[in-house]
Structures are given as structure tokens and as C-alpha cells.
Chain A
Amino acid sequence: MALTDSPTWDVSLTFKDRDGNPSTIGYHLPAALTFAQAGAAMAAVNADLLPLSDATLVGVQLVLSQYENTYPGTLPPESSDVERYVTFPFVGSVKNARTSIKIPSIKNSLIIDQTETLNMADPLVSAFVATFLDTGIGAGNSPVTIHNQDLVALVDAPIKKHRGTVAG
């Protein structure tokens, strides 16, 4: 893996007209800007774009990326297949708050033989679950639900599934 920083922040603006038809435009800002600086530059551009349009700005995205610049330098093994996956379901600290994370191309060696169930006793699996619940980096630095609620436990043992082909 050799992920490289993108040279830019990517800004995406979504407008809607009176009939609800969306239109998205984008531009880039230098990646050297801090989050606050990028937000301020974005706000300045947007403030000068809006008086030109009758449409309503309904959504904004600010994106910072890393990408594999040597791909396919690290060629995955023949057994890799992103359509084979497991989903880890987690429950949050508030009642009924849930979230999940999918792991594509789950290794077959982690599936209990003659079942489709992930082997929760495997130390690699338990290590991932523990890290997802608490990265150990400090408060506020672990995954949360979409409503920003802490995750407290894994709900069920993941089951191996396959999705339909969409690429490759």
C-alpha cells in the first residue's frame, strides 16, 4: 500500500431548481490549506457564486483524499473478490442506534468451515472489532453512528455474503 495525499481539497456544490432537479459543480482548493482555511475559501467562493444563480444551494461537500499512485503495483491475490464480503453490525450508545462496516473480499480462512459464519474466535477478527469500538487514540477518535453516537458492541457474528457484479 502506498497511499499518496491528493494535491487538493475537492469542493462539490449541489443546487436544485424549482422542480427539484439537481445540478452539481465542483472546484479544488490547495491541500496545504487547513480545514478552517479551506472552509473559509469555500464560503467565499460560494458567496460569490450564489448571486449568479436562481437555483438553491442544498448541499456542500469538502473532501480530502489519499489515493494509490502505484496501482496496480500491489496486485491482490487471485483469491481476492470484492463481491464476497461480511458486514459487521455495531450498536451505539443510544437505543436503536446502529451502524455497520463492510469488509470486502473477506479471507476464506476466516470463515468457519462448512458454514458462512465469520470465526469470531480468530484473533484477527477480535482485534478488528476491538479497534473499531475503540481505536485507543483518545476520546472522540473512534467510529460513531451517523448521528455521532459512540459504538458499544458488535451485535451479531458477521455472515459471508456475495453481491452482484458491478465492475471488473
Chain B
Amino acid sequence: MLTPDATLAIQLVFADRGAGQSRPAFRLPFSTSPSAAFAVMNAVTADMLPLSDAVLVGVKLVWQWHDTEPSVPPVGANTQVKLALFYRSGDRYESIHVPAPKESLFETEGSYAGIRLNMADTAVATLIDNLTTSLAEVVDETGETWPTTFLAGGKVL
């Protein structure tokens, strides 16, 4: 079960004239809101920057959760194997790669046995429909809406 860390990390990115970078960090209570964390970051860096002749080029607020007692995956679970799921909207395509996919997701007969997602299986189709629905909140790195039409899925080695 995932539990939150005690603190969130504020990671600063400094750059010098030669484009070398350094990433000092400090911590705040996990419950600190984003706006409060940015306020603290601004207060700290306001007094930090006069000590340095590098420039601040980035900031990350990082909240983390960890499973301190993770369950042992079943025999055969291999994160080097992925399930690639492809989505489309108009002429935009996106994909998501799920590690160590369950073998029960794939076709069991034919040329694509063990490779292609078995969408004829209603249980598999339901799992994919559920994920497609929850991905409606997801956007790409620019903030544009994630494509919502599921195209196909298969195993990637």
C-alpha cells in the first residue's frame, strides 16, 4: 500500500555560464499546498540568489508516495516486457506502455497469440474501457487533451 512521505521536496535547478547545472533541494511538510510551497521557494531563493552567481532556471515541487512493504509479484513478472496501448484523436496519436503485462490479456490462438491484446474477451475489453475512461483527465506535456479513441494494444519486448 502506498503511503505518503513525511515531506515534499523542492528541487532547484541552477545553471552557470557554461550550461553546467546543479540541483540543490530542501524539504517542507508533505501537507504544504502548492501555493504555499512556491511562496516558501520564493522566500528562500530571494535570499539564496544573492550568494550565487549562477542563475535559477527551474523549480520542481515533488510529492512522493512509497510502498514500504510491497507484495511480491508473481513468477514470470518482467518489467522489460510492456503492453503498448495506442490512442488516437484526429491525426494525433499517443501511447502508454504498461510494464509486465498479465499474459491473460493477450490472444491465445492465431498468428498474434501472446502478442495482441484480446479485445474479444469481455473482461479484457472492460479493463481497457476503464483505463480509457480514466485517461480522459490526462493531457500531453503541452497540456493538450489526450486522445480518447483506443486503437489497439500489443506486447512490446
Would you give the shortest CB distance from B148 to chain A, in whole angstroms? 14
**Does B111 make an interface contact (CB < 8 A)?**
no
Determine the residue in chain B with the shortest Cβ distance to A75: B17
Majority-rule SS of B interface residues:
mixed
Q: Given the known A-B contacts A53-B98, A148-B6, are A104 and B36 also in contact in the complex, defined by CB atoms under 8 Å?
A: no
> Are B48's CB and A128's CB within 8 A?
yes
CB contacts under 8 Å to A, within B80-138, are 80, 82-83, 96-102, 105, 127, 130-131, 133-135, 137-138
Given contacts A17-B73, A82-B15, A131-B47, contact A57 B67 (CB under 8 A): yes
- Please determine whether A8 and B139 come into contact, CB atoms closer than 8 angstroms: yes
Count of chain A residues near B, Cβ 8 A: 89
Q: By the criterion CB–CB under 8 Å, are A59 and B6 in contact?
A: no
Count of residues in B whose CB is under 8 Å from the partner chain: 86
Contacts of A17 in B (CB 8 A): 73, 77-79, 99-100
Give the complex CA separation of A106 and B49 in angstroms. Answer: 9
Question: A residues 44-100 with Cβ under 8 Å of B?
Answer: 44-45, 47-49, 51-68, 71-72, 74-83, 85, 99
Residues of B within 8 A of A101 (CB): 24-26
Query: Which residues between 18 and 57 of chain B lie within 8 Å of chain A, taking CB atoms?
Result: 18-22, 24-34, 36, 38-40, 43-44, 46-57
9 further A-B contacts with Cβ under 8 Å, apart from A7-B141, A54-B73, A68-B55, are A15-B99, A23-B100, A47-B134, A55-B100, A76-B15, A131-B46, A143-B28, A148-B30, A168-B19
Q: Which residues of B contact A (CB under 8 A)?
A: 2, 6-7, 14-22, 24-34, 36, 38-40, 43-44, 46-67, 70-80, 82-83, 96-102, 105, 127, 130-131, 133-135, 137-143, 146
